[in-house]
Structure 1
Amino acid sequence: MNDNQQPGTTLMVQGTTSDAGKSTLVTALCRWLRRQDVRVVPFKPQNMALNSAVTADGGEIGRAQAVQAQAAGLAPHTDMNPILLKPSSDTGAQVIIHGRAISNMDALAYHDYKKVAMNAVLESHQRLRAAYPVVMVEGAGSPAEINLRAGDIANMGFAEAVDCPVILIADIDKGGVFAHLVGTLALLSESEQARIKGFVINRFRGDIALLQPGLDWLEARTGKPVLGVLPYLMDFHLEAEDAIDTRQISKAEQVLRVIVPVLPRISNHTDFDPLRLHPQVELTFVGPGQPIPAADLIILPGSKAVRADLAFLREQGWDLAITKHLRYGGKVLGICGGLQMLGQQIDDPHGLEGAPGSSAGLGLLGIDTVLESHKQLRNVSGRLLASGEAISGYEIHAGVSLIAPELAPAIELDDGRSDGAISADGQILATYLHGLFESPSACSALLRWAGLSEVEEVGYQALRERDIERLADMVEAHLDCAALKNLCGLS
Structure 2
Amino acid sequence: MVPCGVVRALMLQGTGSDVGKSLLAAGLCRAWTRQGLRVRPFKPQNMSNNAAVTADGGEIGRAQALQALACGIPPSSDMNPVLLKPQTDVGAQVIVQGRSIGNAQAGAFQTLKPQLLPRALESFRRLAAEADLVVIEGAGSAAEVNLREGDIANMGFALAASVPVVLVGDIDRGGVIASLIGTWVVLTEAERALVRGTIINKFRGDPNLFADGLRIISEHLGRPSFGVVPWFEGAARLPAEDAVALEKPQPADDGAGVIRIGVPRLARIANFDDLDPLIAEPGVSVRFIQPGEALPGDLDVVLLPGSKATLADLAFFRAQGWEIDLQAHVRRGGFVVGLCGGYQMLGRLIADPGGIEGPPGEAAGLSLLDVTTVLEGEKVLRLAEGTACIGGEAVQGYEMHIGRTTGAGLSRPLLRLRDGDGTTQPEGAVSTDGRVMGSYLHGLFQADVFRHGFLDRIRRRPENGIAFGASVEATLDALADHLEVHLELNALLAAAAPVRA
Q: TM-score range by the shorter chain?
A: over 0.9
Contiguous gaps of at least 5 residues in structure 1: none
Q: Which residue of 2 aligns with 1:260?
A: 263
* Residues 77 and 257 (structure 1), Cα distance of their counterparts in 2 relative to 1, 3 Å cut: same
Q: How many residues align?
A: 487
Which is further off, 243-252 or 51-60? 243-252
Residue from 463, 468, 473 that aligns with 2:476: 468
Once residues 253 and 44 of structure 2 are traced to their aligned partners in structure 1, the CA distance between those partners, rounded to angstroms, is 38
Would the aligned equivalents of 2:409 and 2:429 in 1 still touch at CA under 8 Å? no
Would the aligned equivalents of 2:164 and 2:497 in 1 still touch at CA under 8 Å? no
Q: Look up the equivalent residue of 1:41 and give its one-letter code.
A: R
Q: Which residue of 1 aligns with 2:89?
A: 90
Once residues 199 and 409 of structure 2 are traced to their aligned partners in structure 1, the CA distance between those partners, rounded to angstroms, is 58
Would the aligned equivalents of 1:250 and 1:279 in 2 still touch at CA under 8 Å? no
Once the two structures are superposed, what CA deviation does each residue of 1:43-85 show, in whole Å capped at 9, x if it has no partner? 0000000100001111000000000000011100000000000
Once residues 235 and 477 of structure 1 are traced to their aligned partners in structure 2, the CA distance between those partners, rounded to angstroms, is 15
Please list, as runs of the form range in 1=range in 2, the aligned pairs for 1:210-359 lying within 5 A after superposition: 210-236=209-235, 237-243=237-243, 244-245=245-246, 247-248=250-251, 253-294=256-297, 295-359=299-363
Would the aligned equivalents of 1:83 and 1:96 in 2 still touch at CA under 8 Å? yes
Would the aligned equivalents of 1:256 and 1:452 in 2 still touch at CA under 8 Å? no
The Cα shift of 1:349 comes to 1.4
Q: TM-score, normalised by structure 1?
A: 0.96
**How large is the Cα RMSD of the aligned pairs?**
1.7
Which is further off, 245-254 or 305-314? 245-254
SS of the equivalent of 2:256 reads coil
SS of the equivalent of 1:394 reads strand
Q: Look up the equivalent residue of 2:331 and give its one-letter code.
A: R
Residue from 373, 392, 402 that aligns with 1:369: 373
Once residues 114 and 234 of structure 1 are traced to their aligned partners in structure 2, the CA distance between those partners, rounded to angstroms, is 37
Once residues 156 and 460 of structure 2 are traced to their aligned partners in structure 1, the CA distance between those partners, rounded to angstroms, is 52
Q: Look up the equivalent residue of 1:427 and give its one-letter code.
A: R
Would the aligned equivalents of 1:251 and 1:280 in 2 still touch at CA under 8 Å? no
SS of the equivalent of 1:391 reads strand
Residue from 417, 426, 447 that aligns with 2:455: 447
Q: Which residue of 2 aligns with 1:127?
A: 126
SS of the equivalent of 2:23 reads helix
Once residues 267 and 481 of structure 1 are traced to their aligned partners in structure 2, the CA distance between those partners, rounded to angstroms, is 34
The Cα shift of 1:217 comes to 2.1
Which is further off, 249-258 or 26-35? 249-258
The Cα shift of 1:452 comes to 4.8
Once residues 449 and 422 of structure 1 are traced to their aligned partners in structure 2, the CA distance between those partners, rounded to angstroms, is 15
Once residues 339 and 459 of structure 2 are traced to their aligned partners in structure 1, the CA distance between those partners, rounded to angstroms, is 19
Q: Which residue of 2 aligns with 1:388?
A: 392
Once residues 414 and 265 of structure 2 are traced to their aligned partners in structure 1, the CA distance between those partners, rounded to angstroms, is 24
* Residues 198 and 251 (structure 1), Cα distance of their counterparts in 2 relative to 1, 3 Å cut: farther
The Cα shift of 1:482 comes to 2.3
Once the two structures are superposed, what CA deviation does each residue of 1:456-491 show, in whole Å capped at 9, x if it has no partner? 22111122111111121122111112211212359x
SS of the equivalent of 1:185 reads helix
The Cα shift of 1:449 comes to 3.2
The Cα shift of 1:252 comes to 5.3
Q: Look up the equivalent residue of 1:238 and give its one-letter code.
A: L
* Residues 165 and 235 (structure 1), Cα distance of their counterparts in 2 relative to 1, 3 Å cut: closer
Once the two structures are superposed, what CA deviation does each residue of 1:110-155 show, in whole Å capped at 9, x if it has no partner? 1111122112101101111122121110000011112211110000
Once residues 34 and 489 of structure 1 are traced to their aligned partners in structure 2, the CA distance between those partners, rounded to angstroms, is 18
* Residues 79 and 315 (structure 1), Cα distance of their counterparts in 2 relative to 1, 3 Å cut: same
The Cα shift of 1:250 comes to 8.3
Q: Which residue of 1 aligns with 2:29?
A: 30
Residue from 406, 429, 443 that aligns with 1:435: 443
Q: Look up the equivalent residue of 2:462 and give its one-letter code.
A: E
* Residues 277 and 13 (structure 1), Cα distance of their counterparts in 2 relative to 1, 3 Å cut: same
Once the two structures are superposed, what CA deviation does each residue of 1:304-349 show, in whole Å capped at 9, x if it has no partner? 0100110111111111111111111111111111111111111111
Matched, 1:484 2:492: yes
Please list, as runs of the form range in 1=range in 2, the aligned pairs for 1:138-217 lying within 5 A after superposition: 138-217=137-216
Q: TM-score, normalised by structure 2?
A: 0.94
Would the aligned equivalents of 1:251 and 1:279 in 2 still touch at CA under 8 Å? no
Would the aligned equivalents of 2:29 and 2:39 in 1 still touch at CA under 8 Å? yes
The Cα shift of 1:5 comes to 8.4
| Percent identity (aligned) | 48
Would the aligned equivalents of 1:352 and 1:373 in 2 still touch at CA under 8 Å? no
Would the aligned equivalents of 2:10 and 2:497 in 1 still touch at CA under 8 Å? no
* Residues 405 and 287 (structure 1), Cα distance of their counterparts in 2 relative to 1, 3 Å cut: closer
The Cα shift of 1:248 comes to 4.9
SS of the equivalent of 2:172 reads helix
Contiguous gaps of at least 5 residues in structure 2: none
* Residues 251 and 78 (structure 1), Cα distance of their counterparts in 2 relative to 1, 3 Å cut: farther
Q: Which residue of 1 aligns with 2:109?
A: 110
Once residues 234 and 386 of structure 2 are traced to their aligned partners in structure 1, the CA distance between those partners, rounded to angstroms, is 32
Would the aligned equivalents of 1:7 and 1:130 in 2 still touch at CA under 8 Å? no
The Cα shift of 1:28 comes to 1.1
The Cα shift of 1:6 comes to 4.6
Once residues 334 and 294 of structure 2 are traced to their aligned partners in structure 1, the CA distance between those partners, rounded to angstroms, is 16
Once residues 476 and 406 of structure 1 are traced to their aligned partners in structure 2, the CA distance between those partners, rounded to angstroms, is 51
Once residues 410 and 55 of structure 2 are traced to their aligned partners in structure 1, the CA distance between those partners, rounded to angstroms, is 35
SS of the equivalent of 1:374 reads coil
Q: Look up the equivalent residue of 2:45 and give its one-letter code.
A: Q
Would the aligned equivalents of 1:299 and 1:334 in 2 still touch at CA under 8 Å? yes
Once residues 259 and 390 of structure 2 are traced to their aligned partners in structure 1, the CA distance between those partners, rounded to angstroms, is 20
The Cα shift of 1:414 comes to 2.0
Once residues 77 and 325 of structure 1 are traced to their aligned partners in structure 2, the CA distance between those partners, rounded to angstroms, is 41
Matched, 1:379 2:383: yes
Would the aligned equivalents of 2:234 and 2:475 in 1 still touch at CA under 8 Å? no
Q: Look up the equivalent residue of 1:449 and give its one-letter code.
A: R
SS of the equivalent of 1:380 reads strand
Once residues 111 and 220 of structure 1 are traced to their aligned partners in structure 2, the CA distance between those partners, rounded to angstroms, is 35
Once residues 357 and 410 of structure 2 are traced to their aligned partners in structure 1, the CA distance between those partners, rounded to angstroms, is 30
Once residues 353 and 125 of structure 1 are traced to their aligned partners in structure 2, the CA distance between those partners, rounded to angstroms, is 30
Q: Look up the equivalent residue of 1:274 and give its one-letter code.
A: P
Once residues 253 and 474 of structure 2 are traced to their aligned partners in structure 1, the CA distance between those partners, rounded to angstroms, is 18
